[in-house]
Amino acid sequence: MDTSNQNESAGLPLAGIRVLDITQVMAGPFCCMLLGDMGADVIKIEPPQVGDSTRHSMGFRLKGEDSPGFLALNRNKRSIALDLKNPADRDVLYALVKTADVLVENARPGVAARLGMGYETLSEMNPRLVYASISGFGQTGPWAQRPGFDLIAQAMSGALSATGLPGGEPVKNGIPVADLGAGLFATYGILSALMGREKSGRGQFIDASLLEAALGLSVWETTELWGTGKSPQPIGSANRMSAPYQAVRAADGYFVIGAANQKLWLTFLEVVQRSELNSDPRFITNALRVTNRMELIDELRPTLARRTVHEWVEALLAAGVPAGPIYNYEQALASDHVAAREMVMDISHPVEGSFRALGFPVKMRGTPQRVRHAPPLLDQHGDEIRRELRDKGLLQSSGKKAVTQ
């Protein structure tokens, strides 16, 4: 456990935990940002000159050269630029490893070992190190060496085949569920390993992948496959386990309803004044409604077209039936509720001045998270981090060579 920078994270759950973030793009940076939000001292190790490739992604900018995508995924981190093919810079990495609790990398399987930073090498230096590798397809298996992106993982996990409208062209989930899911699962593994280390005294290796994240989130779809023997097909906004539970059309647009159990179904019928549908043999039970979902929506279509979205949502909510309008992101982020939940915040930045970002999606009452570091400029903290290592006796005064321990 590292004690540097504890004052600024004092009181947060992961204060004193040091994380080395040797990742790029989305899954790894997202994982490490979540750890940083909880108080970990996250040191982002980036290639010199270019840094994390996401710094240069997206087709628009704010004021500076770093992309909004990079800014969104890298708060609460410090940056140091190291060329891990260079022996002197690799020695700086080794010095950092001796101070670290966690290391996260997302190179293709085998690359980290070739660079001299594989788990076996680093765990000898620091047996307490929790080492997480995030890849497209995992460290083993016939697909391990394939390049992996969210789209590829969605396609090869089956998720893409079950998304979109019946009979339409393939549609990926608009939110990168494989990427972000891998980051979340890696975070879950890291925190579990840190707790386990308190008992065993040793860290361990964590193998997370985009493919397995997409599969791990496919609990409904795989259940349908194994229960029916048929691969799930696209069903638009509908749900595989309940009906009516989907987007439906009112007089002036679409809204969503969630009559997900028998009580809600009966209440829904009262609100829309179609109680006779409960006597229809196609719709008596939820299982039948799921089987005959399209016929059910056809029956409801002329009824729902008589009132506006606002009128239906208000009437259904008043009766206790889950319903809601379909907002775009501008509308959602401008809502009073999102404001009350503090899900939009402004972050001060040395180049941008200030930029808008999503807030913390989990609230901690006893130890509320806060932004301690803006997303770093490339190598912004390189001198500071080397100085810390020299103060610990892990680097010579030149800052170029790690002391062998």
Return the DSSP state at 403.
P
Largest CA distance in the chain: 84
CA-CA distance, 83 to 75, in Å (whole number)? Answer: 22
179, 298, 336, 391: the catalytic one is: 179
Residue 284 CA, distance from chain mean position = 39
Question: Is cis: bond before 376, omega within 30 of 0?
Answer: no
Strands (E), 170-284: 205-209, 245-250, 253-258
Task: Report residue 189: phi and psi, to 5°.
Answer: -65, -40
- The answer to whether 67 and 56 are in contact (CB under 8 A) is yes
Beta pairing partners, 205: 131
Residue 396 CA, distance from chain mean position = 39
**Closest-CA residue to 249 (of 260, 262, 236):** 236
- One DSSP character per residue, 131-160 reads EEEEESS-SSSTTTTS---HHHHHHHHSTG
Output the CA torsion sign for 312, 315, 318, 320.
negative
Q: How many CA atoms, within 13 angstroms, populate the side-chain half-sphere of residue 393?
A: 2
Tokens 């997480």 found at: 132
Contacts of 34 (CB under 8 A, 6+ apart): 183, 184, 187
CA-CA distance, 241 to 271, in Å (whole number)? Answer: 22
Active site residue 298: no
Q: Which residues belong to the active site?
A: 179
